[in-house]
Amino acid sequence: MDELKMIADLLTEPPPAEQAVTRGRARLTTVISTPPARRRGHRRLAAGIIAATAAAAVVLGVGLSGGFGLAHPRGTATIRTVAFTLTKHANGTATLTINPKVLLQAGTLQNDLRQDGIPALVTTRSFCSSDPIPPGFAQVMSGPRGTPPAPPTVTINPAAMPAGTELSFGIFPYSSTITDTEIELIDTSSYACSTALPAPPPSRQGVMLLGRGSGMGEPAGS
Amino acid sequence: MLANFQGDPECFAAVYDAYFRQIHRYVAARLGLAAADDLAAETFLVAYRKRAAFDPVRGQVRPWLFGIATNLVAKHRRDEARRYAALSRMPLLPQHEQDASQEDSILARVSAQRLAGRLTAALRGLAAGDRDVLLLAAVAQLGYQEIAAALDIPAGTVASRLSRARSKVREALGAEGEMEDTPWMS
């Protein structure tokens, strides 16, 4: 009897998905490429950049009244959590409404977006981007909808996403009640992740920022 | 190249490329696929942070990484127990058995389910240290010296723990595990 082989046969799982390998490598690369001093100072740096650009045209209105319900059973057209609501429409688009007062769970949002057919890479305290940024962002993302104090809402059209791209969501919490979420198209075959907050959206094309601030506007053009 | 990672952090990415799948396989075996994605990646983040503590005189990179992974798994003992409980109800057969005739397949599954239950019960009943040694040998396929380096224990302790663990597993499997045609055997 070879009990070691029996144990291996019983416990062995399929190999990891290639996306899991890539994602783990990106996490490691982020840590390797970021000097320790910079990582320590990131929060302050991020807050400074965002505070200076809070009124930029691409910053969506933020609701401070909350109003999110408890999670509903999956399998319906709407996924509702305390942090976000994701509604899939018959025409293939999806509406995402983020509660900026609650820290988004990257894994949950990523899984739910993918469940709705939206390829997404969601990270917390880091942001993944491609250089150059793939075109077509304005066709994929539209919004905002609603007026303050309504929570920031965007509509996503996954059918407009160019082949080989994903939506990168970078979640940057910088207080217990304020979170900014940066969104950008990335080329899945070539992107890098960094804990440094990207340059303010007005200076970059194809970027949307969901977060605090009272400004309303369209995403920067593609 | 792998030996240079202490002096050149960029080389650490090569360590990841060389060993991520092996670490993932080991963690997935103990905690399941969902946890393995995160914990395998976490293993390399911990290793990178602790790279200065790696002593090439005491062992190779591979067992060092498995040691880190084992420490991370140790923080999820309840999840590991739950996984074994679930596996006891889901017999996993080698592919050639799954392709057998329906009658043979049913018999094989009944037998396999019984064995799976006993095997997972045995795994749950082992002392944590014994289980670590057993699974590093069975799943990670490390040798005595490598396991000793991974867990930072003497090789003699590895031998005694492995012997004790294998005996308990055999005992749990009983006569049924000694059947010539057990579906686990290829």
Asked if the model's pLDDT at residue B93 lies above 60, the reply is no
Cβ-Cβ contacts under 8 Å, B28 against chain A: 12-13, 16
**Subunit contact B13:A9, Cβ cutoff 8 A:** no
Strands (E), B3-139: none
The pLDDT of residue B69 is 96
pLDDT tens-digit series, residues B7-44 = 666 778 889 999 999 999 999 999 998 899 999 999 99
Sign of CA dihedral A105, A106, A112, A118: positive
- Tell me, yes or no, whether B23 lies in a domain: yes
The pLDDT of residue B37 is 92
**Subunit contact A16:B24, Cβ cutoff 8 A:** yes
Please give the residue that has the higher pLDDT: either B68 or B112: B68
**Subunit contact B29:A12, Cβ cutoff 8 A:** yes
The pLDDT of residue A122 is 86
Strands A120-124 and A165-173: parallel
Please state the pTM of the whole predicted model: 0.52
- Tell me, yes or no, whether B186 lies in a domain: no
Q: Report how many domains make up chain B.
A: 1
The pLDDT of residue A69 is 31
- Tell me, yes or no, whether B183 lies in a domain: no
- Tell me, yes or no, whether B38 lies in a domain: yes
Please give the residue that has the higher pLDDT: either A172 or B141: B141
b/e code A92-122 from CB counts within 10 Å (16+ = b): ebbbbbbbbbbbbbbeebbebbbebebbbbb
The pLDDT of residue B7 is 62
Q: Tell me the pLDDT band of B182, cut-offs 50, 70 and 90.
A: very low
The pLDDT of residue A204 is 56
Q: Which of A9, A14, A28 sits opposite B48 (nearest CB)?
A: A28
DSSP string covering A135-203, please?
Answer: S-HHHHEE---S-TTSPPEEEE-GGGSPTTEEEEEEEEE-SSS-EEEEEEEEETTB-EEESSPPPPGGG
Full residue range of the structural domain in which residue B125 is found: 2-178
The pLDDT of residue A15 is 92
- Helix, strand, or coil here: A124? strand
Where do the domains of chain A lie? 17-210
**Subunit contact B40:A9, Cβ cutoff 8 A:** no
- Tell me, yes or no, whether B45 lies in a domain: yes
Asked if the model's pLDDT at residue A114 lies above 90, the reply is no
Asked if the model's pLDDT at residue A143 lies above 90, the reply is no
- Tell me, yes or no, whether B9 lies in a domain: yes
Minimum mean pLDDT among A122-126, A163-167, A191-195, B92-96: which range? B92-96
Asked if the model's pLDDT at residue B108 lies above 90, the reply is no
The pLDDT of residue A60 is 32
Please give the residue that has the higher pLDDT: either A103 or A98: A98
The pLDDT of residue A127 is 78
